[in-house]
Amino acid sequence: MPPPPSPSGRAAVLCGLGSWLPPRVVTNEELSRRLDTSDAWIRTRTGISRRHIAEPGQATSDLAVEAGRRALRSAGTDDVDAVVVATTTPDRSCPATAPLVASRLGLRGAAAFDISAVCTGFVYGLASAASLITAGVATRVLLIGADTYSTIVDPHDRTNAIIFGDGAGAVVLRGGRADEPGAVGHFDLGSDGTGEELIMVAAGGSRQRSTPGEADPQDRYFAMRGKEVFRHAVTRMTASAQATLTMADCKVEDIDRLVPHQANLRILRSVAEDLGLPPERLVTNVESVGNTGAASIPLALADAATRHTVQPGERMLLTAFGGGLTWGSCLLTWPALSRIDTPHNTGGTQAS
């Protein structure tokens, strides 16, 4: 199952992992006090019981810097050639968030750019970061998935306010061999822009400009047609995961862990079931963090690694789906990482 040979003979190898969650925890009970919802409804329909929410004034780059710092420490390096930030909630629409994150991490001079693929951003980011390495453009890349959905979700919108949480997760990739644990690939990436309206922030871009007084305030909020998105999420992630297995000449039985974008527990279980994967191989932390957009896969990886529910050498299949519509999947053999700092245990060190 190693990645396909690249023209350079190099592969991209995951060698560091870090995550960060803002300390404030919002439980279902707290949401039920201000929205027409209940803990029972949220748990049954989504599997979520709490999420972390950024403080007012805390921006995506603040979370990204913390996760990035932990990933660099986990990799034992303070030197990368490129910083990639996958996010739907950049600090500003211009410039990108990555250069600021890079300079705050002491990586001034590194190439830095954002990836905008909504909840598929981390998998698109992995493919981009890996390509920089296999093309010989970079030897080490810091990839961060970070989102503060609380800044774009209408707090009065009970459907979306219950799902989303804020957070950041990061990995460091380095050049290495395709047969090493940590080598990433094969990849399947795709999109279908005819589904643009299913997930959208209507105003603020060049289509519906943010001239004062023009936009309906509601248009500045995240909008999602939940039921349709649910169906697409299941079918697209399943199809993409299957395409990746076919590409790598693998069977689902060869996969030890499925790490899907943490959208909704019902979606994750359906994907595992449709793939024919036993539920115990599903990696999930949606219960404690909600849907954290581009941060969800690295947060799930960090959670599983620190709780030792993934072991070095295990074969993992990552799969994601998001607005666009976009989707993507990737194979990875879990590496032995010397340390992973958990979000609330900054001094702590845990070997995976």
Give catalytic residues, as residue numbers: 119, 261, 291
Q: Which is nearer to ligand UT7, 34 or 108 (CB)?
A: 34
Binding ligand UT7 (rule: CB under 6 A), the pick from 229, 299, 301, 332 is 229
Query: Does residue 291 touch ligand UT7 according to CB under 6 A?
Result: yes
Contact 213, 306 (CB under 8 A): no
Q: Which is nearer to ligand UT7, 82 or 283 (CB)?
A: 283
Q: Which is nearer to ligand UT7, 37 or 288 (CB)?
A: 37
Closest approach, Cβ 17 to ligand UT7, in A, equals 22
CA atoms within 13 A on the CB side of 181: 11
* Separation of CA 180 from chain center: 23
The DSSP bridge partners found for residue 319 are 260, 329
Contact 185, 12 (CB under 8 A): yes
Query: Does residue 284 touch ligand UT7 according to CB under 6 A?
Result: no
The b-or-e profile of 228-253 (16+ CB within 10 A means b, else e) is: ebbebbbebbbbbbbbbbeebebebe
300/261 Cα distance (integer angstroms):
9
Q: Which is nearer to ligand UT7, 19 or 333 (CB)?
A: 19
Strand-pair category, 184-191 with 111-115: unpaired
User: What Cα–Cα distance (Å) separates residue 102 from each residue in 30, 143, 219?
Assistant: 36, 11, 32
Alpha helix ranges (H) inside 198-295: 226-247, 265-275, 286-289
- Quick one: which segment of 178-186, 227-235, 302-310, 336-344 binds ligand UT7 (CB under 6 A)? 227-235
Q: For ligand UT7, which residue has the nearest CB?
A: 226
Closest approach, Cβ 320 to ligand UT7, in A, equals 9
Kindly identify the residues of this chain, within the stretch 45-74, that bind ligand UT7 according to CB under 6 A: 45-46
Contact 271, 241 (CB under 8 A): yes
The amino acid at 235: T
* Token pair recorded at residue 294: 């581009």
* Token pair recorded at residue 115: 């990836």
Closest approach, Cβ 106 to ligand UT7, in A, equals 32
The DSSP bridge partners found for residue 52 are 25
Binding ligand UT7 (rule: CB under 6 A), the pick from 14, 67, 123, 267 is 267
Binding ligand UT7 (rule: CB under 6 A), the pick from 1, 75, 152, 263 is 263
Place of tokens 């190099």: 10
Q: Which is nearer to ligand UT7, 142 or 330 (CB)?
A: 330
One character per residue 21-40, x = contact with ligand UT7 (rule: CB under 6 A): ----------------x---
Kindly identify the residues of this chain, within the stretch 304-333, that bind ligand UT7 according to CB under 6 A: 322
Q: How far apart are the first and last CA of the chain?
A: 21
- Quick one: which segment of 179-187, 204-212, 221-229, 241-249 binds ligand UT7 (CB under 6 A)? 221-229
Q: Which is nearer to ligand UT7, 184 or 295 (CB)?
A: 295
Query: Does residue 132 touch ligand UT7 according to CB under 6 A?
Result: no
Binding site for ligand UT7 (CB under 6 A): 37, 41, 45-46, 119, 158-159, 162-163, 226-227, 229-230, 233, 263-264, 267, 291, 322
